Structure 1
Amino acid sequence: MKSFVVSAFSLAVMALPVGAAEWQSAEDKGIFLYTIQEGTARLELVCDPEGAWLPPEYHVVVTPAPGQFLEGTTIEVRTETETQTFPLSGGSIVSREPEVWNKVVATLAKPGPITFSAGGQDVSFTIENELKADCTI
């Protein structure tokens, strides 16, 4: 299900002008996709605040290159001010626990350098603009 949602939005986002590590957004039937593309690396945040899917879809996918996903059961997220570890399932950061998910969103909302590490692989971005989205649960 996740890959279908991400694939559908990927096509929609390709039409958007891509700035250097700036959040781009798309919406389809109440599901929101926020994307950053830096080189071949891609960061995608999917939010379903209206509950279009049951259960609602909330996840983050980090891909170092098209078709490649980070592997493992946890992912380390490093910013200039903190390092956090989140659950990783099927290449996605997913949590139904509001306190965990809201921490993920708060971390992604801030501009600055961010690195995702899982399975011995690092993917880094420099987020240039604040994420202006209500993606909390």
Structure 2
Amino acid sequence: MRFRIATTVMIFCAVAAPAFAWDETTDFRGLHIYTASADGIALTAVCDPDGAFIPPTNHLQVDIQGQWLKGPYTLESDGNTFAGTMIAGTAVSRDKADWQQIIAILQSGSELKLTAGDQTYQVNTGTPFPVSCGASE
């Protein structure tokens, strides 16, 4: 009986947890990698705070159902919208104004809307993106 109660509680806790959460790792070059994923969608922001690349390069990758997002997309949060084009699943911080908009949307809340092609996805990251990832420099 106790086993059933414990199992039921664990299942409830797993279901009640936020679908997404930003997980951080650091690779051998000093890149900070933040990923939020669930329900077949993964958002990955790669931040280059120490200049592993010259010039420092930050980027956002989007994976939907195991496929890199390619082509036009929009990202929205709290009335802010950014429209861009993913190349091989990646938006790179080459244009400072565009990168600042992307990061501002990720930091503005945890409820995001991603539109690609004729599909719209509601993305709940659990918390707003925790760092500026080169957008404030």
What is the distance in 1 between the residues matched to 2:119 and 2:75?
A: 12
After superposing on structure 2, the runs of 4+ consecutive aligned residues of structure 1 that deviate more than 6 Å are none
Matches within 5 A, 1:83-102: 83-102=81-100
Number of equivalenced pairs: 118
- Asked whether the 8 Å contact 2:76–2:82 carries over to 1, the reply is yes
SS at match of 2:132: coil
Q: Using the TM superposition, give the Cα deviation of residue 19 of structure 1 relative to its aligned residue in structure 2, in angstroms.
A: 5.7
What is the distance in 2 between the residues matched to 1:52 and 1:83?
A: 30
- In the superposition, the TM-score normalised over structure 1's length comes to 0.74
- Aligned-residue sequence identity (percent) comes to 27
Query: Can you give the 5+ residue segments of structure 1 that lack an aligned partner in the other structure?
Result: 1-17
Q: Does 1:46 align with 2:46?
A: yes
Alpha-carbon distance change, 123 to 61 in structure 1, aligned in 2, over 3 angstroms: farther
Q: Using the TM superposition, give the Cα deviation of residue 118 of structure 1 relative to its aligned residue in structure 2, in angstroms.
A: 2.3
SS at match of 2:68: coil
What is the distance in 1 between the residues matched to 2:21 and 2:83?
A: 24
Q: Which has the larger radius of gyration?
A: 2
Alpha-carbon distance change, 51 to 112 in structure 1, aligned in 2, over 3 angstroms: same
Q: Using the TM superposition, give the Cα deviation of residue 22 of structure 1 relative to its aligned residue in structure 2, in angstroms.
A: 1.4
Q: What does residue 104 of structure 1 align with?
A: 102
Matches within 5 A, 1:1-137: 20-28=19-27, 29-66=29-66, 68-72=67-71, 74-135=72-133, 136=135, 137=137
- For the aligned residue pairs, the C-alpha RMSD in angstroms reads 2.1
- Asked whether the 8 Å contact 1:77–1:116 carries over to 2, the reply is yes
- In the superposition, the TM-score normalised over structure 2's length comes to 0.74
Q: Using the TM superposition, give the Cα deviation of residue 102 of structure 1 relative to its aligned residue in structure 2, in angstroms.
A: 1.4
